[in-house]
Structure 1
């Protein structure tokens, strides 16, 4: 009887741990947005990208190849846009607004959704 109770408790804990780790996974769209933010941050150069690097590295695991390719495209596109002087103000606002969640790390970015 005790063995059955212990087994049920262990299964409950394992299910809770699995749900918690699944909740920390960002969507493909969030991953692509974070890649865009990194492109902006690297080109503008006024922001530390360590949080973005950490987020992207952690969230890259298990992504399908087309998502990774699209994220690279967004990164390159953002870098090109950030080189344009007339778009820099808008991109700086994006960097200090929408991108902040991704700079804080994976847990905070997922919680911000």
Structure 2
């Protein structure tokens, strides 16, 4: 009986661990979300959902990815100042960034597209 309880507990922990791993964004998606945050900030859009997502997803990242994320956000924000880029960036914000702007760390935000 004790063996069965221990086995079920181990399976439960394994399932919980895999569920937690499934909600973690890939590094590429994390960088894309940072780019979206930069575009949104540069265009004066609300960044609250992106901020929450980036904060929630940034905790377990290595420093290099965190730094690249910050650089990507800064680069995207600078690009919004270019009048020639406004239309393309606005379209990117409306389409490519929509998955990351869903809020938090669940749902579409973790789907790699």
TM-score by length of 1: 0.92
Mapped partners of 2:91, 2:76: distance in 1: 13
Instruction: Extract unaligned runs of 5+ from structure 2.
Output: none
Mapped partners of 1:24, 1:18: distance in 2: 10
Higher helix content, 1 or 2: 1
Residue of structure 2 in register with 1:67 after alignment = 65
Given that residues 101 and 112 in structure 1 are in contact (C-alpha distance below 8 angstroms), is that contact kept between their aligned partners in structure 2? no
Mapped partners of 2:19, 2:84: distance in 1: 43
What's the offset of the Cα at 1:39? 0.6
Residue of structure 1 in register with 2:93 after alignment = 95
Instruction: Extract unaligned runs of 5+ from structure 1.
Output: none
Q: Deviations over 1:46-65 (max 9, x none)?
A: x3211101110001112111
Given that residues 35 and 72 in structure 1 are in contact (C-alpha distance below 8 angstroms), is that contact kept between their aligned partners in structure 2? yes
Residue of structure 1 in register with 2:43 after alignment = 44
Is the alpha carbon distance of 1:51 and 1:26 closer, same or farther for their aligned partners in structure 2, counting shifts above 3 Å? same
What's the offset of the Cα at 1:36? 0.6
Task: Please state whether the residue corresponding to 1:72 is helix, strand or coil.
Answer: helix
Residue of structure 2 in register with 1:81 after alignment = 79
What's the offset of the Cα at 1:111? 3.2
Paired residues, number: 111
TM-score by length of 2: 0.92
Residue of structure 2 in register with 1:5 after alignment = 4
